[in-house]
Structure 1
């Protein structure tokens, strides 16, 4: 095996530690860009907002689609696999700086407020299709 001398040039070693050239537009773009403006973070915030909106309906007094959204959001919040995929509840909370267990407990408590409600189902007379007639007095 032949010996090859080290081709490192000590005169060029100073260039290793020089700062990279950055255009002013690139420099100011990194300063002005906040954490909340990242598209991934905005998408994660939108996912959490959608979960809150889906859990805010009463599953016993809504349409079938809203009921399916309610139960799928409830399953997503309480999913048994935590952190396996990028948009899991645990990963979104960690990325946005929320405590996932605290938020999960709060969302579950909020979703359970309809379980013990006295108006479990509307009767057919209370449904919008069968509105009672309002009689007005005419003088």
Structure 2
């Protein structure tokens, strides 16, 4: 029945600034609805992001209402800190990890590798990929430590 996520929405204070920010990250602008809503493709024809201009965007952060994780390849994630900085974004501390490089959170049989950053309105964004956990590691660690522990 459910095949994936088609759309997600975020509140923004300046719609045009936010469109430019997300286009700068590589999303493709699709259309605007009136003057307060815009849609951008995350993956064309598959999933998109709705941006809603609103006066109340400074809601207390909670990942259930102001967070989106974008899937990336493992190789792209390894380059994510420099890529984000080239886009004018600054990775941020998350789960106790300094934003110097991506980090991993292991689960049974697989691991998520990720880096976090914010958009201009403080919405929480994440670049993430799922990777194997061949040695069954259980500790959270930086990606470079994970690679070393797995012989990469």
**Shorter-chain-normalised TM-score: which range?**
under 0.3
Question: Which of 1 and 2 has greater Rg?
Answer: 1
The structure richer in strand per residue is 2
TM-score (norm. length: structure 2): 0.23
